[in-house]
Structure 1
C-alpha cells in the first residue's frame, strides 16, 4: 500500500559512549534514515546508541543499538561487531528485517502472525552478531534492573511477533489459550519453545510459527534461588514461578554482567 501523503523523516538521535571513529554518527544517521524512508507507517521517533568498549580482549567491541517508534509500535535491534562501521551495517540489516515484519503485521489480522521468512537471523549466522556478556565474577553480580508490568494476553504467534520486532532473547506473556504466565524463546535453528508456569499442552492452539512446548512446570522459588540456579546452569535466563505470588518471572543475564528481573504486576 502506498502512502497517501509524503512523510517527514524523523530526526535520528545518536548517543555515543567510548571512542568513535570520525563520521560514525553521520554514518549511523544515514543508514537508519534510509530505513525510515521505506516504511508505510510514519516513524515518529528514532534513536541510535553507539558504544565502543574499552576492553582490548573483546573480539567485537563495537556495539550498535536502535529503537524506533513506528506509528506507536516499537521496533528494536542490537548488534556487535569488530568495527563501528560493520556494526552499523549489521544494525541496518537487522532493523530492516524487524521493520519488514512490522509492515506485514499492519496488513495481517490480529493473531495471524506471518511465519518467519528466509532472511531472518536463524537461517543465517546472525546469532554471532549479539554482544558478548561481560565476564563479571558471580559473586559480584547483582540485580541492577527490576521491571514490573502487566503481561500482555497473547497467542504464541503474537508473542513470537513481539520477540522478533523487539529483538528480544525471550518474551514473557500470559498465554490467552491457557491463562498461564508463559515465556517464549528461540530454540534450535528453526523454531521457538514455550514454557509455562503450569503447562497445558492440550489447550495450546495451533501456531503459525514452528513451536515446541515444554511439559515441565516452572520451578517455584524466590529471586535468590533463581540467581543461584542461573549461576550454576549457565543459561541466559531462568523462568520460574515466584514463591510468594505463583506468577511467572524471568531472571536474566545482562550484557554488563549483572542481572535483570522481570515480574508481572499483581
Structure 2
C-alpha cells in the first residue's frame, strides 16, 4: 500500500514539473452508435437534478436506487444528498448543517469532503464530529453549479476540484496540500465537470479542456465539452 501511495504522489509531482512530457491528447478511436433508448417504465415525476450516478425526481425519488429522500433534498450520489446548506448522509439519516451553500460532497469511511459555492472546501471526521481541514481557494466571478465534479478520494489523497478550473491535491496522512493542477484558465464558468480515475489514469475536464495524468506524462486537449461518460478503458 505504501509503495502505491508514494508512486501516486511521485507521478502527480512529476506531471507538473519541467521533467514531464506535455502532449496533446488524441483519442485512439471513437465509438458512435445510433440507438433508440427506451425506458421500461414511466418516471413517477419530473427530474429536478441529476449527476453522473443518479437523478432526483420532483417527488423525492432517487433513481436508480429507487429511494425517497426527505422533502427538498437532492441526491449527490448513493450516499449523500443536499438541501441548501444541509448535507444528508442517507443511510444514517444524519443531517450536517454548514454556514454556506453546499455544491458537492464525497464520503469515504469516516471522512467527509465538501465543496461550497464560495469556492471553499472542508474535510470532516464524522466519527469525531469535527473538521480536519477548512480551506478557501481563489475568489470566483461566476460558476456553473449544475455540473460540478465531487472531491475524489484516491488512496491516501483527496483530489479537490475547484470552481476556478483547478485540482488541489491534499495528502490526508501528512495533512497538507502537495500540488495544484490547472485544468482551465477561463475567468468564469470554469468549474471542473468531471474527475475520475480511468484505467489507472487521472482524468479531469472543464467545459473547454480535458487533461490526463499518468507517470511522467501530462496530456491535454481543448474541446467544447457538454457531458463525459466513461467505460472501463474509454472516455466518451
Q: TM-score, normalised by structure 1?
A: 0.28
Relative to total residues, which structure has the larger helix share, 1 or 2?
1
